[in-house]
């Protein structure tokens, strides 16, 4: 079987298993077994096993988001109604993948090397989502000081809040309350960082 097909099958099976059973309940060996391949074949394609698979799924999620996103529909992010609508859409996409997000957070909290690996991945050419989102924000806030650093920090804050809200079932109140606060927070941070 060609390498691409094997890798794609592993990713499909892993995603299905994690969404159905939760990240902690799925092992690399189970993913290999359900994919009808040996564990060594899985580790050949994904050297860190389940963690490598999770990162690849997250990247594919980001790429799919970009492909299905119509930039002409963004409108003015600094318009509260349009900015909040965008955040609602982003929150809903995260809800669809809550078990994967849970796995991602588990790895970050329990594996000290996971954050280093993630940072390398985010700086690689494979991570198109961060560049895409940064360019959208720069379209509406072109005078941001130190855009790389600012977007990195604000992106981490926003992602952490969304993950917590999703994983802990509306941790910050209703979605409407959460999106309203998140929008005001992001708008304030971005506006205050402009020249």
Q: What is the mean pLDDT of each run of 10 residues along the chain (195 residues)?
A: 82 94 94 96 94 86 72 64 83 87 88 78 67 72 76 82 93 96 85 61
Q: Are 140 and 78 in contact (CB under 8 A)?
A: yes
H-helix or E-strand spanning residue 31: helix 28-35
For position 86, what pLDDT does the model report? Answer: 80
For position 195, what pLDDT does the model report? Answer: 42
Paired residues of 144 in beta bridges: 194
For position 71, what pLDDT does the model report? Answer: 61
Which CATH architecture best describes the domain 1-47? Answer: Orthogonal Bundle (1.10)
For position 173, what pLDDT does the model report? Answer: 95
Residue 174 class from Cβ within 10 Å (0-12 exposed, 13-18 middle, 19+ buried)? exposed
For position 170, what pLDDT does the model report? Answer: 94
Half-sphere CA count of 26, side-chain side, radius 13 A: 26
Q: Are 78 and 67 in contact (CB under 8 A)?
A: no
Q: Are 147 and 136 in contact (CB under 8 A)?
A: no
Which residue ranges make up each domain of the chain? 1-47, 56-192
């Amino acid at each position: 079987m060609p390498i691409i097909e094997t890798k794609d099958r592993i990713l499909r099976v892993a995603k299905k298993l994690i969404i159905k059973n939760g990240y902690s309940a799925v092992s690399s060996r189970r993913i290999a077994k359900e994919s009808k391949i040996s564990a060594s074949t899985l580790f050949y394609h994904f050297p860190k096993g389940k963690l490598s698979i999770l990162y690849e799924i997250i990247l594919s999620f980001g790429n799919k988001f970009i492909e299905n996103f119509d930039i002409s529909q963004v409108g003015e992010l600094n318009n509260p109604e349009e900015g909040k609508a965008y955040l609602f859409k982003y929150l809903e996409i995260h809800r669809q993948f809550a078990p994967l997000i849970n796995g991602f957070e588990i790895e970050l909290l329990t594996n000290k090397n996971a954050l280093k690996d993630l940072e390398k991945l985010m700086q690689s050419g494979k991570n198109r989502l961060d560049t895409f989102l940064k360019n959208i924000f720069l379209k509406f806030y072109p005078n941001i000081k130190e855009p790389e650093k600012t977007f990195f920090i604000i992106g981490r804050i926003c992602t952490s809040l969304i993950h917590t809200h999703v994983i802990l079932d509306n941790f910050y109140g209703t979605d409407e309350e959460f999106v309203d606060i998140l929008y005001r927070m992001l708008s304030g941070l971005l506006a205050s960082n402009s020249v």
